[in-house]
Structure 1
Amino acid sequence: MFSNNDEAVINKKLPKELLLRIFSFLDVVTLCRCAQVSRAWNVLALDGSNWQRIDLFDFQRDIEGRVVENISKRCGGFLRKLSLRGCLGVGDNALRTFAQNCRNIEVLNLNGCTKITDATCTSLSKFCSKLRHLDLASCTSITNLSLKALSEGCPLLEQLNISWCDQVTKDGIQALVRGCGGLKALFLKGCTQLEDEALKYIGAHCPELVTLNLQTCLQITDDGLITICRGCHKLQSLCASGCSNITDAILNALGQNCPRLRILEVARCSQLTDVGFTTLARNCHELEKMDLEECVQITDSTLIQLSIHCPRLQVLQRYLCHIFTVLALLVSSSSSCLSCHTAAASLPLSGTLVPPVWSTVVAPVPAERLEPHPKHRSSLCLRRCHLSLHTLRLSFQTHLPNIKVHAYFAPVTPPPSVGGSRQRFCRCCIIL
């Protein structure tokens, strides 16, 4: 199995402690290869101190329960971070052995490990009291019992992802936050049974909360989110996309209570209006990213307020941009948001903007379809815009002659309108 390299020059010149230090920088694959070089290297490469962080995502199809058990026995108390994301063959028994052997684990990713149940969280609660980050997204067998167990045995928990665990209800959230009051990030995307009562528990017990994702939690209303705003003043990122029941009251509450807000995603929240976004913009000056897709009631007023009061705004996704006029674009283009050399120019005409010095467009437009323009400060993609290329060019030549408008995509020719000729519209990019 091993070659006769135990007496190689490198083993004579370098002490074992130094070789062990070198091995600590290697990835899993390289360590396994080194372990096959010689008996001496096998001992060093498989030393538990080299296996403090393991990510098995690239090998997910080959990972079964026994592999996790063997790793846990090898690593023992050294292991701090383990990712088994997508490892469908790993179940409760293997993770019980893992929990017993790796009691110093701090970060554990079980995203997509669909075989695990509440038994896994019971094991983690019993043996892994130092756990800080746990990802259980798409583990659909998880119920309120798991959250109760984590609350009892993992008081240091700071980040929990239970997205798409649709059996979780307000009772589970209540149990969780009573024992894990130090939560800083909570991802509840797709937890469709959650109601406002669950958010009231979070707002009352999690003052350190920084990130909250409630995407597609359809039963959430203003009452629950207002409680979050009032109890979690450190909130920096909120996703409420798909929560169609919320109104401007949420934007007012954010503006009054969460001045550190940087990311707000409220796509498909069609009841939000310019009034709420005006309050938000005037109070949350640290906003960097917003998703306003299908917020059909907002107009130029929102765009102008954001450009005036939020100079750090880098990405603003806003589709169906025919509501916004060229005038609003011109006003925003001349604002501090675009004149700042240290921040990306971000304006919403239906697309996404890019950082300074780049002219590639953020997804969904493929970056390879654009040529780089290193001299330009930023770019603006007008995807799905209802303005003709001729109109855009004429407007900018009149008001801002230094701005160039380039068409990067083949023109789209809509069907002819009644009583008129076919007009050519273009998906284009404005270089600033």
Structure 2
Amino acid sequence: MHAFLSPQMFSNNDEAVINKKLPKELLLRIFSFLDVVTLCRCAQVSRSWNVLALDGSNWQRIDLFDFQRDIEGRVVENISKRCGGFLRKLSLRGCLGVGDSALRTFAQNCRNIELLSLNGCTKITDSTCYSLSKFCPKLKHLDLASCTSITNLSLKALSEGCPLLEQLNISWCDQVTKDGIQALVRCCPGLKGLFLKGCTQVILRTGVGCEYQQITDDGLITICRGCHRLQSLCVSGCANITDAILNALGQNCPRLRILEMARCSQLTDVGFTSLARNCHELEKMDLEECVQITDGTLIQLSIHCPRLQVLSLSHCELITDDGIRQLGSGPCAHDRLEVIELDNCPLITDASLEHLKTCHSLDRIELYDCQQITRAGIKRLRTHLPNIKVHAYFAPVTPPPSVGGSRQRFCRCCILL
């Protein structure tokens, strides 16, 4: 491509050789492979290239994250006017200067938008979701993470105007309550992914004001019952949820692939047994600090979840070598399992590494603060899996006292093996 754009091939006029040799249709096709920066540079070459570079068909997918600090509302408005109905995917992640007014203009002009990321656009409010609801009925993926002014009104608006919605990220939107979620799932039956990380506060309206309470089972059970196509769910940090959620997922969401439940400390083997026996398509599970689970959960996952690729069990202190043995002998271990995280699992020993040596797809294992894991055990594992990344920590041996009665100082170290 750089050779194609060499100075010998064009000059600052429309009589350049390349414009004579190649038809406009072919030039337009070539331009469709260029990134935003290159397109803008090409637009400055000549009048004909300006028309080609700024043709709406070249602007179907735009990611402005690399330019987030320079993006203001007028930039988004100009892009929307240029792209019009061609634009399908737009990322404004981190663009703090973009607000409701610009996004209303965007929604009016880009009515075929399917994927929109507003992650970290802290200026936007419910007004933006009203605009999307009114003008963008084809919207499928919407990321509103860290848009802290978003409330239930946004979810109700989206449920009314965006029935094709498949994935919604409202992590850290702590004004959203179960009422908003209920409105969403009633009208968006195709919802496959819902991300609620950090939504630990639910506003409950009372006669005298607002009372704050952590998310409980009711709202999440509503999601499960209303979204039978659900594939991804993140509720990490929702410490009050119980096995009732896992039962509801098992009964209603058989297509579930990604489940993030870190720090949900009330979940037990009973709930994960119900989940595993019904959700056979699970691929990624984050169970960090689910402190009540034991080897029983790993037995059920090894039997019923043959597609498991990523599993985090960090700080699950009841997990033992026998649970890893069961997992290592399951169908997922031989050709699927890629990552297993076992940080701060004090009962894990080198025997677990022996059980994992037949997991030929294993790419990474985390073993920080597993005090019974040794360098020798890791070395034996690497003889079977030479390309594996092993992250481990070894506390240095305390040296004997020196002649003068003082001790040398040793630094703690993290080791990538």
TM range (shorter): 0.7 to 0.9
Out of 266, 271, 280, which is 1:276 matched to?
271
Answer yes or no: is 1:25 the counterpart of 2:33. yes
1:170–1:318 distance in 2 versus 1, CA, 3 Å = closer
Answer yes or no: is 1:301 the counterpart of 2:296. yes
Out of 364, 376, 383, which is 2:368 matched to?
383
Structure 2 letter corresponding to 1:80: R
Report the aligned-residue RMSD. 3.9
Task: Report the counterpart of residue 394 of structure 2 in structure 1.
Answer: 411
Q: Aligned to 1:31, what secondary structure does the other structure show?
A: helix
Q: Is the 8 A contact 2:195 2:234 kept in 1?
A: no
Q: Is the 8 A contact 1:125 1:150 kept in 2?
A: yes
Task: Report the counterpart of residue 231 of structure 2 in structure 1.
Answer: 236
Aligned length: 375
Could you list the runs of 5+ residues in structure 1 that have no partner in the other structure? Answer: 198-216, 353-372, 417-425
CA positional deviation for 1:66 = 1.7
Following the alignment from structure 2 to structure 1, what is the Cα–Cα distance between the partners of residues 241 and 327?
28
Following the alignment from structure 1 to structure 2, what is the Cα–Cα distance between the partners of residues 376 and 313?
14
Q: Aligned to 1:323, what secondary structure does the other structure show?
A: coil
Answer yes or no: is 1:350 the counterpart of 2:343. yes
CA positional deviation for 1:39 = 1.5
Deviates more, 1:52-61 or 1:185-194: 185-194
Deviation track 1:79-99 (CA, whole Å, cap 9, x = no partner) reads 222221111111222222222
Following the alignment from structure 1 to structure 2, what is the Cα–Cα distance between the partners of residues 178 and 281?
26
CA positional deviation for 1:351 = 7.9
Deviation track 1:319-344 (CA, whole Å, cap 9, x = no partner) reads 23553333443444344443x2x312
Following the alignment from structure 1 to structure 2, what is the Cα–Cα distance between the partners of residues 24 and 406?
38
1:312–1:351 distance in 2 versus 1, CA, 3 Å = farther
Q: Is the 8 A contact 2:368 2:392 kept in 1?
A: no
Answer yes or no: is 1:291 the counterpart of 2:286. yes
Task: Report the counterpart of residue 354 of structure 2 in structure 1.
Answer: none
Answer yes or no: is 1:65 the counterpart of 2:65. no
Answer yes or no: is 1:142 the counterpart of 2:150. yes
Could you list the runs of 5+ residues in structure 2 that have no partner in the other structure? Answer: 1-9, 206-211, 346-356, 400-412
Task: Report the counterpart of residue 119 of structure 1 in structure 2.
Answer: 127
Q: Is the 8 A contact 2:112 2:139 kept in 1?
A: yes
1:414–1:253 distance in 2 versus 1, CA, 3 Å = farther
CA positional deviation for 1:193 = 4.4
Deviation track 1:114-137 (CA, whole Å, cap 9, x = no partner) reads 122233233333333333332222
Structure 2 letter corresponding to 1:41: W
CA positional deviation for 1:249 = 3.1
1:16–1:187 distance in 2 versus 1, CA, 3 Å = same
Q: Aligned to 1:290, what secondary structure does the other structure show?
A: strand
Answer yes or no: is 1:11 the counterpart of 2:6. no
Structure 2 letter corresponding to 1:284: C
Q: Is the 8 A contact 1:60 1:84 kept in 2?
A: yes
Structure 2 letter corresponding to 1:64: E
Task: Report the counterpart of residue 156 of structure 1 in structure 2.
Answer: 164
Task: Report the counterpart of residue 212 of structure 1 in structure 2.
Answer: none
Q: Aligned to 1:71, what secondary structure does the other structure show?
A: helix
Give the 5 Å matches for 1:363-382: 377-378=361-362, 380-382=365-367
Following the alignment from structure 1 to structure 2, what is the Cα–Cα distance between the partners of residues 309 and 103?
43
Out of 74, 87, 108, which is 1:100 matched to?
108
Q: Aligned to 2:259, what secondary structure does the other structure show?
A: strand
Q: Aligned to 2:168, what secondary structure does the other structure show?
A: strand
Task: Report the counterpart of residue 6 of structure 2 in structure 1.
Answer: none
- Percentage of pairs with the same residue: 76
Q: Aligned to 1:186, what secondary structure does the other structure show?
A: strand
Structure 1 letter corresponding to 2:121: C
Structure 2 letter corresponding to 1:184: K
Task: Report the counterpart of residue 312 of structure 1 in structure 2.
Answer: 307
Deviation track 1:178-204 (CA, whole Å, cap 9, x = no partner) reads 54444333333333444899xxxxxxx
Q: Is the 8 A contact 1:218 1:243 kept in 2?
A: no
Task: Report the counterpart of residue 404 of structure 2 in structure 1.
Answer: none
TM-score with structure 1 setting the length: 0.73
Give the 5 Å matches for 1:71-86: 71-86=79-94
Following the alignment from structure 2 to structure 1, what is the Cα–Cα distance between the partners of residues 369 and 242?
26
Deviation track 1:270-320 (CA, whole Å, cap 9, x = no partner) reads 222223333333333332222221122222232233223333222211123
CA positional deviation for 1:415 = 7.8
Following the alignment from structure 2 to structure 1, what is the Cα–Cα distance between the partners of residues 194 and 389?
42
Give the 5 Å matches for 1:45-56: 45-56=53-64
Out of 242, 247, 253, which is 1:247 matched to?
242
Task: List 4+ stretches of structure 1 deviating above 4 A.
Answer: 345-348, 390-394, 401-410, 413-416, 426-430
1:42–1:316 distance in 2 versus 1, CA, 3 Å = same
Answer yes or no: is 1:35 the counterpart of 2:18. no
Following the alignment from structure 2 to structure 1, what is the Cα–Cα distance between the partners of residues 160 and 151?
15
Out of 250, 254, 258, which is 1:259 matched to?
254
CA positional deviation for 1:413 = 4.4
